């Protein structure tokens, strides 16, 4: 079956970093200021889990509690559907994929099915800082995986499974690294400078302009 869109014309930016690095925070800010769509893999999975009759529901529930990553077919299919919807509804063709790809097999399937990423925004943050942020987030997030036991499993998964993805993409010169341990304003400022350097043309047509 061929897709109703030409995904080779999309601009894809993977956004990676450990749990609590600030992916959601900074993707949200970028999407508010520029004509970019923010798609959070975690949010998409949590939403899918709630859908009655979803073929993935039970697997997602188990993976979240174990702090592990699901199969490429699930992540790529769900993302492709979300991107197509955004593109068809809002005409947006620049995507920040927050929390994807977390396994090397995800990169391979994504590149085969959709296209290669233009860049990878890597929010590099010390584990102790992330842990502190997540425990604070736990007070209000309602996320079942924001507990110390699952946070530790998520850190382990990040180090063992996602770090090789970043290393792989680094060899292709695609990784834009950011020091994400600083305060929110400083991190965002650095991200804006890097993004404008790399994607100036795309970002010039800002939705709401810079403030």
Comparing CB distances to ligand ADP, the nearer of 61 and 143 is 143
180 neighbors 21 (Cβ within 8 angstroms)? yes
Tell me the residue nearest to ligand ADP as measured from the CB: 22
Partner whose footprint covers residue 35, from Mg ion, ligand ADP, none (CB < 5 to 8 Å by kind): none
Comparing CB distances to ligand ADP, the nearer of 73 and 132 is 132
Partner whose footprint covers residue 137, from ligand ADP, Mg ion, none (CB < 5 to 8 Å by kind): ligand ADP
Partner whose footprint covers residue 173, from Mg ion, ligand ADP, none (CB < 5 to 8 Å by kind): none
Interface residues with ligand ADP (CB under 6 A)? 17, 19-25, 133, 137, 182-184, 187
Comparing CB distances to ligand ADP, the nearer of 15 and 107 is 15
CB of 162 to ligand ADP, least distance (A): 12
Comparing CB distances to Mg ion, the nearer of 5 and 46 is 46
Given its phi and psi angles, is residue 124 left (phi above 0), alpha (psi -120 to 50 degrees) or beta?
beta
10 Å Cβ neighbour count for 131? 17
């Amino acid at each position: 079956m061929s897709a109703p869109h030409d995904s080779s014309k999309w601009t894809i930016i993977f956004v990676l970093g450990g749990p609590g690095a600030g992916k959601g925070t900074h993707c949200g800010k970028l999407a508010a200021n520029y004509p970019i769509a923010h798609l959070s893999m975690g949010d998409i999975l949590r939403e899918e889990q709630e859908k009655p009759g979803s073929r993935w529901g039970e697997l997602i529930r188990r993976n979240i509690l174990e702090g592990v990553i699901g199969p490429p077919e699930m992540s790529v299919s769900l993302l492709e559907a979300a991107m197509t919807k955004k593109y068809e509804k809002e005409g947006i063709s620049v995507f920040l994929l927050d929390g994807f790809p977390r396994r090397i097999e995800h990169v391979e399937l994504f590149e085969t099915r959709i296209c290669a990423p233009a860049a990878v925004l890597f929010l590099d943050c010390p584990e102790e800082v992330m842990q502190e942020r997540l425990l604070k987030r736990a007070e209000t997030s309602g996320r079942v995986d924001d507990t110390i036991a699952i946070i530790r499993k998520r850190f382990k998964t990040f180090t063992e499974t996602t770090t090789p993805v970043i290393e792989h993409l680094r060899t292709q010169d695609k990784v834009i690294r950011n020091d994400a341990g600083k305060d929110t304003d400083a991190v965002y400022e650095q991200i804006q400078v890097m993004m404008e350097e790399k994607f100036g043309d795309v970002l010039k047509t800002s939705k709401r302009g810079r403030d």
